[in-house]
Chain A
Amino acid sequence: MAVRVGRAVAHKVRLDPIACDGHGVCAELFPERISLDDWGYPIVDDTPVDDSLLPHAKRAVEACPVIALRLERIMKGDGERRTTAAGDRQAAAR
């Protein structure tokens, strides 16, 4: 799936593998992008998430008990990556 050209752009799910404890809630809530390995830790597909899937991605991010997931918003043009409120929450928790 290509990154859409426009003002709002694409989202990607990002995992902090150090913070992750392998609860596995994310894979239940967002199987479209997250599966579990043989030991129960999430394998995250970083293909951009489109609008129809975004609510599911957000639910997975918000449900993580250790705040190891965040949604990354890729801004048009500059390639800069910014995180959503869930990501800010993660930064504040540190």
Chain B
Amino acid sequence: MPEPTPPPRQNLDPTVFGRIVAGLGHSGAIGTRYIAHGADWAELALDYRDDLVGDPASGVLASGPIIALMDIATSISVWIRRGAFMPQATLDLRIDYLRAATPGRSVIGRGECYRLTRRVAFVRGQAHDGDPADPIAHVAGTFMMTNEA
């Protein structure tokens, strides 16, 4: 994508911003960590933890923390693409659980904003636990801007 001229906001540093958002409230409680970003994507990690397990017999992480990770990663991707931290809310999010995450491994979630309009942002993403070519989950969703009339 060509660089918009002038950029909407110069003061959004996604690296700093991603670290802050990943550490707040529910994101911080499940332990998401900022990893990397590009012009329209953000990558976060979720480390394996016993208290996030959904099935004690197998030790597999619950699906809830994975959907939260992807909600956060896609949400940051929207702010990065928009170039500004605008209030937004998740409208819907669909997640396909391709396979169970391997117990003990960190989950890496990459969210991408592939289409941005004034009121709605369209996102997609994938999560893996070590090999991006063997993903554990795929997501698609939309966010709506909450300050638009």
Q: Decide whether A and B assemble into one complex.
A: no
| Residue ranges of B at the interface with A (Cβ–Cβ < 8 Å) | none
| Residue ranges of A at the interface with B (Cβ–Cβ < 8 Å) | none
